[in-house]
Amino acid sequence: MTKFSDLNLSPKVLKAIDEAGYETPTPIQAGAIPPALEGKDVLGIAQTGTGKTASFTLPMITMLARGRARARMPRSLVLCPTRELAAQVAENFDTYSKHVKLTKALLIGGVSFKEQDALIDKGVDVLIATPGRLLDHFERGKLLLTGVQVMVVDEADRMLDMGFIPDIERIFSLTPFTRQTLFFSATMAPEIERITNTFLSAPARIEVARQASASETIEQGAVVFKASRRDREATEKRRVLRALIDGEGEKCTNAIIFCNRKVDVDIVSKSLKKYGYDAAPIHGDLDQAQRTKTLDGFRNGDLRILVASDVAARGLDVPSVSHVFNFDVPSHAEDYIHRIGRTGRAGRDGKAITIVIPRDEKYLDAVEALLQKPIPRIENPIKAAEKPAEKPAKPVEKPVRARVEKKETPPKETAAKSTRSKADQPRDTNTPRSRYADKPKTDNRRSGGGRDNTIVGMGDHMPDFIALSFDERRAG
C-alpha cells in the first residue's frame, strides 16, 4: 500500500501530514502528486470528497519551498468557484505548510480591498482567489500574474455552472505560457474538455472513479410526495421534511438541507427554528462574516442543521455530516452528486434523502439516468392528503308553513266546483246573473286613510268564467 512517505514530498511537508494524523493517501492523491512534483500538467477527475485539495496543495508547498516571492507577483495561483471553498483551501495550506515559510493571500468577496492589497504588496507565494475578485484586483493595477509558476483550477465543472468560464479563459491568458497547470473536476462536460485541450499541455490524466458516481458508503432514498392541495404544497412539504428528520432520530447527528432557491433556504430555516430545530441558513446573498460564522458553528458541532443553496454543495470539508436532505431535486443532475457527497466522506457511512413532488419527477429521472441505477423509494412518513371521516347526512326537514287566515274574505270557488252540472249550481232567482257577481267589491276611492289593500296572492285568484259550465258560457 502506498504511503505519503513514498511520494517524494519534502520532509517538512511529511512532518505536517503526520501531525495532521494522515498516513495513507487517497487514490486521487497517490495518482496526482508524483506527476505534479515532476512539473507535468495534471488533469484530475474524481468525485467530491476524495481529497482533491491535498492533491495540489502538497506538491505546491514542496515546490514553492525553493524560491522567494516578489511584491505584487504571486508565485502560484489557486482559483476556486466559491468563497467557502477558497477559505477551505487556505486552511489546508496553513495545515500543511506550518513548517515551511510560505506566505499566502486570500482574495474573496466580502473582505476589504485595502487589507488584501496590503498582503499582495508584501509579496505572496500562494494566491487563493475567486475569479471575480482576482480580476477586480488586476484591473485596479494592484496585481501582476506574470510570475505565476503553478496555476490550479479547482472544481472546474462548478466554475462552468456558475458562468466563470470566460473569466477563467481570460486569467489563463494573463499567466505565462510556461506555467504548470493542475486542473481538477468532478465531471468532464464538453466545455471543460475544450478548455483542458486548449490550456493544458500533455497532461497526466488521473481518473479514480467513474464520472458522476456517488460514493458507495452513502445510503440513498427518495420520498415521492403529493400535496393535498396545490396552495398547501410548500407547507406540507416542510412537514414531510420535519418528519424525515425526526424519523432518523439520534442517527441524525447533523445534516445539510439543500434548496434550489435562496428564498426557500430562508423560509425552510425559519420554519425549522419555529418548530424547535437548531438550524441556520447559508447562501450567496448573506454577508461573508455571517456565512463564515455559520460554517464555523456547523463544523464545530455548535449548529446541528445547515440549510444551504448550491453555494455549499461542493468543496466544503465537514467530515462528520451524517445526513443530507434534498428539499428540492436539483435541476442539474450532476449537482445531486455533489450535494450528497457532503455525507459519507473519508469512508464514513452517510444517508441522503430527497423529497420529490410531481413536477420534479423529470429531474429525478435525469439523476437516476446519471447514476445508472434507480434510487430506492421511501414511504412517506406522514399522510399529507388525509381526509376527515365523513359524517352521515341528516335528513332535511321541510319548514312548516304557517296557515294565514284572511280577514273577511269570502270563500272562493275551487277548481273542483267547476265539474258540477248546471242543476247542481245554486242560484238566486231574484238577482240577475252576472259573471262578476261573486267577486268581492273593492272601493278604489280615496277616503280618509286610503284604499282597501286586500292583496290576492299569485295562484289564489281564479276568474269566475272558469267556474261556469259550457252551456252557461254559450248563453253569455
> What does the DSSP assignment read for 171-235?
HHHHS-TT-EEEEEESS--HHHHHHHHHH-SSPEEEE-S-TTPPPTTEEEEEEE---SSGGGHHH
Residues 41 and 188 in one domain: yes
Q: Are residues 426 and 335 in the same domain?
A: no
In a domain, 379, yes or no: no
* Residue 172 pLDDT class (50, 70, 90 cuts): very high
Asked whether residue 227 falls in the same domain as residue 144, the answer is no
Residue ending a domain, choose from 344, 371, 398? 371
pLDDT by residue (tens digit) across 62-74? Answer: 999 877 777 788 9
- The CATH number of the domain holding residue 279 is 3.40.50.300
CB 233 within 8 A of CB 266: no
**Structure confidence by residue, pLDDT tens digits, 439-473:** 455 444 444 444 555 555 555 566 666 666 666 65
Position 460 in a domain: yes
Q: Are 311 and 340 contacting, i.e. CB atoms less than 8 angstroms apart?
A: no
252, 179: one domain: no
Domain that holds residue 262: 218-371
Contact, 336 vs 361, CB < 8 A? no
Q: Residues 344, 381: contact at Cβ < 8 Å?
A: no
Q: What is the mean pLDDT of residues 402-416?
A: 49
What pTM was computed for the model? 0.64
Same domain, 159 and 292: no
| CA dist list (Å): 337 to 208, 246, 284, 447 | 16, 24, 20, 98
Domain assignment present for residue 267? The answer is yes
Contact 338, 314 (CB under 8 A): yes
Q: Among 322, 343, 371, which residue terminates a domain?
A: 371
Q: Is the pLDDT of residue 364 over 60?
A: yes
Same domain assignment for residues 197 and 223: no
d(CA 465, CA 473): 7
Q: Give the model's pLDDT for residue 345.
A: 75
Q: How many domains does the chain have?
A: 3
**Per-residue cell: 180:** 504548470
pLDDT tens readout for residues 246-271: 999 999 999 999 999 989 999 999 99
Is 383 domain-assigned?
A: no
Q: Is 456 domain-assigned?
A: yes
Q: Are residues 416 and 475 in the same domain?
A: yes
Closest CA to 145 of 79, 77, 57: 77
Give the CA distances from residue 175 to residues 58, 74, 151, 179, in Å, rounded to whole numbers and listed in that order.
Answer: 22, 11, 8, 7
390 assigned to some structural domain: no
Q: Is residue 443 one of the residues assigned to a domain? A: yes
Quick check: is 402 in a domain? no
User: What's residue 119's pLDDT?
Assistant: 86
Shared-domain flag, residues 144 and 15: yes
